[in-house]
Structure formats: structure tokens, C-alpha cells
Amino acid sequence: MTFVKIDQKKWAEGVSALKKGYQVFGPVKEGKDHEFRKLSGDQMPEMDYGNTRLSPKAAIYPQSEVMFTYTTDERKDDHHILKEPERDETPKAVIGIRPCDAFSFLLVKKNFDTPEYKDPFWLRAYDATTFVGYGCDDPCSSCFCTSAGSGPFDEKGLDVLLVDHEDGYLAKVLTEKGKALTEKAGWTQAFDAGQAEKVFGEKAATAEGKFESQISTDRLADIPSMDLYDAPFWEDIAFSCINCGTCTYLCPTCWCFDIQDECRGCDGVRMRNWDSCMSSLFTLHGSGHNPRGDKVSRVRQRFMHKLKYYVDKYGDGIQCVGCGRCVRKCPVNIDIRKVCEMMNQYDPEAQNECACPTT
């Protein structure tokens, strides 16, 4: 593990240099909020941001993505046969990603990279990407990454971690991929490791001290799944939900998708689009039967998936990194922190009366 110092000049030069070998993604301001976008020509990442409005998952996993192309023209030899299209396979660099968002890719990887099947679209994009993180000096009041397996200076899922230092950045190079990227960028001015560790340690401690919000997850694994499923609080939690997909679309760890065919003339594509468990259509059978036909069951599915099913399936924490986006953007203020608390504290034995929460 090495440390390098990047001053403002080197920073700008480095980002430009990277664009020659990478597709560079970074936060840019759009209106009031920041979003991760592919940086064009002389565009620089705008690093003065709290967190982006949408998560950066689209850099790896676009909202709408062509899987295959085909022709339905029967005069062609290969009619009706699906083919993988040529793609831009230039490596990607995601610059300025927050540690919580970077960690989310590791959670999502569990879904797309399994012993039995590998999702080639996600995995190829993921493998081709170098993640350059940016430590979080000022967490939002609704962030709770420190109690969701991550932290403002957490290194999991990152190849490089940047922190503000003097007029530029200090970079901690964490992986070979990170080393290749910093070299390509010309960020090679070594910095004393002992001193750097101290800077990183102090910054992390200061930032962690600022967290106002947290969740407890210690009991989730032990409460039987069916007890939580049958808990009386779901109707109350779900009441205000309007079943829009906002939470799922903003969430860095929501990965569900739909597969659709579209043709223009004889030219067809099979593509996949983000989908949402909040939509009734998500589970609707051809017969009209719907296993999650009501709102309560869909809301329950979202929280059970993140806070129980995932916990049970992988035995490695919750499917949430504490970025707080769903809390901030839910139009009706359903708060995963509150739901998590209710689930974590749930005692099926003590259920003798209705559990309407007091707020």
C-alpha cells in the first residue's frame, strides 16, 4: 500500500491523462444536485458534493442496457438469432465515489457473481472499472454508513482512496488496479506512509464523530424470518407508501431488472431495464394471480429483502450501505432507519397488542 500526494495542478492534468485510457465517470452538478456522469472533453469531476442524487450504480449497470441484438428479417441467414453486440470495452474509472457507494458494488456482486451463474454484462463492466473513492469529511445527517458495514473513509470496494489534503489530495493506493490508474494519471509523488496514515486516521475519526444517525442490526439474523414476515407493524409502515419506485431506483444496492424486447422494423434488441419490487407488475402472473398483489406485501418485500433475506442468504450483513438516499428522497418519508429499528427490536413473544409506533 502506497500513498501519493496530488496537488491541484497534478489533479487536473491527471484527470485529463486518464481520459486517454479510461472512460472517466465523476460527480457533476446538475441543477441543485450532483450526479455521476461520464466526463466529456475538458469536464472535471466536481468534488465539492455531499452525495449524488442517484447512486453511481449506473456507471456499471445502466438503467437501460442492450443485452443482445437480432434481426427478424427472414431473408437474412441469421434471422431470429440473438447476438451480443460490440461494446465500448475501454476500462472505466469512477472518480470521487463515496466509500458507501463503492461498498455497495461488493453487496451487489453477490447477486451477479454466483457459483452457478455469472452475469456477464455486470461482471465485465465491474471488472473493467477502477474505483477512486473520496473520503467523506461531512456526512449528511441522514447518513448511517457507520452502522451499515461501511464508513466515511471505508476502503472496501475501492482501488484508491482520496482525502482532502492541503490544496489537493492525498491518495491511498489500495490495489494493483489503483496503482495502474495513479501511474497513468501521473500521480506518483510519494508521501510518507506513517504521516499519511495519521492524516487518514484523524480524518476518519473526526468524520465518524459527526454521525448523528445509526441503525442497529444485531438481532436481525436471529429473529426467525417468518416471525418478522408475520409481524404486525407492516400495515402501519406501508400505509403511507405510494409504491413509486423512487427508493429502489436511487438505491445503490437495488439490482432488480426486467428484460424487454424491442424492434424497429426488423432490427431488434433484447434489453434490460431497472425494475422495482414496488411495482405490482413485478410479480404478476400470466393468470392474473399476484403473489405480492397488495402494497403491504410489496413494502414488506423491500425491507425484508434488504434486512432479512439478504442477511440470511449470505450471512454477511445487510443489503444497505447507509447512504441515506431513500430516506432523503422518499416522497412520503418512509424511513428505513425506523423500519430497521422495528425489525431489529421485534419480539414475537411480546406481541399482545397492536404495535403502532409512536414517533
Partner 1 sequence: MGIEPGRLHFSWISSAESTKFVKVATEVTQAVKELGPNRHFVKEKVKVA
Partner 2 sequence: MQEYTDKIRQIARRLLEEGTVDMVIGFRKGSMPIMNEPCMVRRPQDVDQLVWDSNCGINLANYLTDRKEKIGVVAKGCDSRNIVTHIIENKIDRDQLHIIGVPCGAMIDKRKIASLVEGEITDVTETEAGKVIVKGEGFEKSFDKAEVLQENCAICIHRNPVVHDEMVAEPVEEQTDVDRYADIREIEAMSDAERKAFFDDLYKECIRCYACRNACPLCYCPTCFVDESRPQWVGKGQNENDIRTFHFLRAYHCAGRCTDCGACERACPVGIKVRMLTKKLEKDCKELFDWEAGISLENRPPLDAYRPNDPDEFIK
Partner 3 sequence: MSAPARQLDARKGDIVENPYLPYPVRIDDIITETEDKNLKTFRFVFINPEDEEKFAYMPGQFAELSVTGKGEIPIGIASSPTEKGFIKFTVNKVGLVSSYLHSMKAGDVMGVRGPLGNSYPWETLKGKNVVIIGGGFAFTTLRSSIIYMLENRDQFGQIHVIYGARTPGMLLYDQELKAWEARDDMNMHITVDGTDDPNWKYNVGFVPTITEQKAPPADEDTYAIICGPPIMIKFTQPVLDNLGYGHERIIMSLENRMKCGIGMCGRCNIGKDFVCKDGPVFTLAQLNTMPKEY
| x-or-dash string of contact with partner 2, 150-189, rule CB under 8 A | ----------------------------------------
Residue from 42, 77, 88, 116 touching partner 1 (CB under 8 A): that is 88
The kind and range of the H/E element at 14 are helix 8-18
| Cα 57 to Cα 131: distance, rounded to the nearest angstrom | 12
240 binds, among partner 1, partner 3, partner 2, none (CB under 5 to 8 A by kind): partner 2
Residue 334 identity (one-letter amino acid)? I
The kind and range of the H/E element at 126 are helix 120-127
Q: Which of the 8 DSSP states describes residue 83?
A: B
| Cα 296 to Cα 238: distance, rounded to the nearest angstrom | 5
Residue from 22, 61, 112, 303 touching partner 3 (CB under 8 A): that is 112
CB of 332 to partner 2, least distance (A): 6
CB of 303 to partner 2, least distance (A): 15
Q: Which three cell numbers stand for residue 148?
A: 451499515
For the chain, the farthest-separated pair of C-alpha atoms sits apart, in whole angstroms, at 70
Q: Which three cell numbers stand for residue 196?
A: 499519511
40 binds, among partner 2, partner 1, partner 3, none (CB under 5 to 8 A by kind): none
Residues 218, 223, 227, 228: what is their CA dihedral angle, to the nearest 10 degrees? Answer: 20
Pairing state between β 129-134 and 92-97: parallel
| Cα 339 to Cα 323: distance, rounded to the nearest angstrom | 16
CA angle, corner 356, sides to 353 and 359, nearest 5? 140
Residue from 72, 195, 240, 345 touching partner 3 (CB under 8 A): that is 72
Q: Is 264 an interacting residue with respect to partner 1 (CB under 8 A)?
A: yes
Q: Is 191 an interacting residue with respect to partner 3 (CB under 8 A)?
A: no
Q: Is 294 an interacting residue with respect to partner 2 (CB under 8 A)?
A: no
| x-or-dash string of contact with partner 2, 245-284, rule CB under 8 A | xx-xxx-------x-x-x--------x-x--x--xxx---
Dihedral angle sign, alpha carbons of residues 15, 129, 272, 55? negative
Q: Is 64 an interacting residue with respect to partner 1 (CB under 8 A)?
A: yes
Residues 300-339 that bind partner 2 (CB under 8 A): 327-329, 331-335, 337-338
**Residue 302 in contact with residue 204, Cβ under 8 Å?**
no
Q: Is 296 an interacting residue with respect to partner 2 (CB under 8 A)?
A: no
Q: Give the interface with partner 2 as residue ranges (CB under 8 A).
A: 30-33, 50, 53-54, 63-64, 138, 140-142, 236, 239-240, 242-246, 248-250, 258, 260, 262, 271, 273, 276, 279-281, 327-329, 331-335, 337-338, 354, 356, 358-359
